[in-house]
A and B are shown apart, each in its own frame.
Chain A
Amino acid sequence: MMEPVFLFDFDGTITKTEMLPLLAKNLTSASEILELTEKTVRGLVPFEESFLKRIELLREIPTPTIQKIFTEAPVNTKLLSWIKEHRELCYVVTGQLDIWMKPWFLKHKLNGFSSEATIENNVVGVSKVIDKSSIADHFPGREIIMVGDGANDATLMEKASTSIGTEIVHKVPEMIWELADIVIWEEDSLCRTLSRLL
């Protein structure tokens, strides 16, 4: 029997907060990006539209600064330890740009899937916004366990064998409730459940 694969959303699942509000602290005008992030998590604005808009707003922050914010972002430590302990079965699936995530992946020796960036004349652009549902195609024949908390996790949850909605940071939106098999509030409970699905 093939081993299961565990896929984890990044913002608000592995990290203790959504990342864009953290980045917004470095902006002269943060309110727009905060509002956009909130609406995106709740599924009120399509992820791709919101993401491209947010990238524009973030252009004034140098990439090394963003990378530093990512690598130093507070994480759910017990969950991250569990993921690292089972790193051969685990992947992070995030809409964030690959150039922002790369140092984080290196730091924790983890693999994952991200949106793809372009850089022209020192300006960061987006060549491909991740389609989370397509990530399931990378693991044919394997049982997929998807762990996430936001509306943009829904398409992957639809393809997963088991979907876990996490409410460690915030309540899952209604569409995630409709797709999830279980909802969990605490890290210890989540790690115990993940171990039972090995």
Chain B
Amino acid sequence: MSNSVSIVINAAGVGSRLGLNIPKSLVSILGRQLIDWQFSIIPSDIEVIVVVGFKGRELADMVKELRPDATIVINHNYHQTNTAGSLKLGSKFGGSRLVSLAGDLLTTEATLKNFILSDCNLLGLTQVNSVTPVYSEVSKDNVVNFSYEVESSFEWTGLANLSRDLCADLGERHMFQGIQKFLPMKFVEINCMEIDEISDLQRMEKWIKENF
């Protein structure tokens, strides 16, 4: 696999909707922390960058145990920026292509591999299943619009393969807001699960049992 691909895990957020006073990456599911599950699907020869913020030192200690070759990027401004801000920071130190993985998202090894191997910008969508989805309007193979209001059958997941230059130009807010100006962009439907709220923990357990 190409050495110029880096996986950036955006794990700086507070996870306020979950309300557990720890980063979502450190939430334990079936005896393993979420970031541990994420590392289990990342090939060992792929460079990993973890962007930390809230309780970053604690999260970094866990990352060091699991992937000591990882690079920790610190988003000191995590309470005023969002995933795009974290990805922008991470992109400075990454390869020419970045696979951005939201810190609260788990997908399958095969899906992640597909994104790692992509040599063009690629977005991951799933059928709408969350309480507050970012609706993704599509046309053929492309996403043409993101919206909180205009309903569609797909929602944005937080998994993407993007060029380093594009990542640096996404602003500081949510990734989908930064990507909006670069649409249309190719997408694939993926099998994944994310944790937003307490009720998602049980769903995540079930999803892991079915997919791992």
Contact = CB atoms under 8 A, between A and B. Distances in A.
Interface of A: 162, 167, 177-178, 180-186, 188-189, 192-193, 196-197
Contacts of A184: 71-72
15 contacts: A177-B56, A177-B57, A177-B74, A178-B76, A182-B72, A183-B71, A183-B74, A184-B71, A185-B68, A185-B69, A186-B68, A186-B69, A189-B69, A196-B93, A196-B94
B132 to A, nearest CB: 32
B162 interface: no
The size bracket of the interface on B is 10 to 19
Nearest to B68: A185
Interface of B: 47, 56-57, 60, 64, 68-74, 76, 89, 92-95
A193 B93 CA distance: 6
Given A189-B47, A189-B69, 5 more contacts: A182-B71, A182-B74, A185-B64, A185-B70, A193-B93
Contact of B73 (A167, A182, A185, A186): A182
Contacts of B47: 189, 192
Contacts of A177: 56-57, 74
Contact of A189 (B71, B74, B92, B95): B71
B22 to A, nearest CB: 18
B70 A189 contact: yes
B69 A193 contact: no
A177 to B, nearest CB: 6
A181 B73 contact: yes
A181 B64 CA distance: 17
A177 B53 CA distance: 11
Contacts of B69: 185-186, 188-189
B60 A182 contact: no
Contacts of A167: 64
Nearest to B63: A185
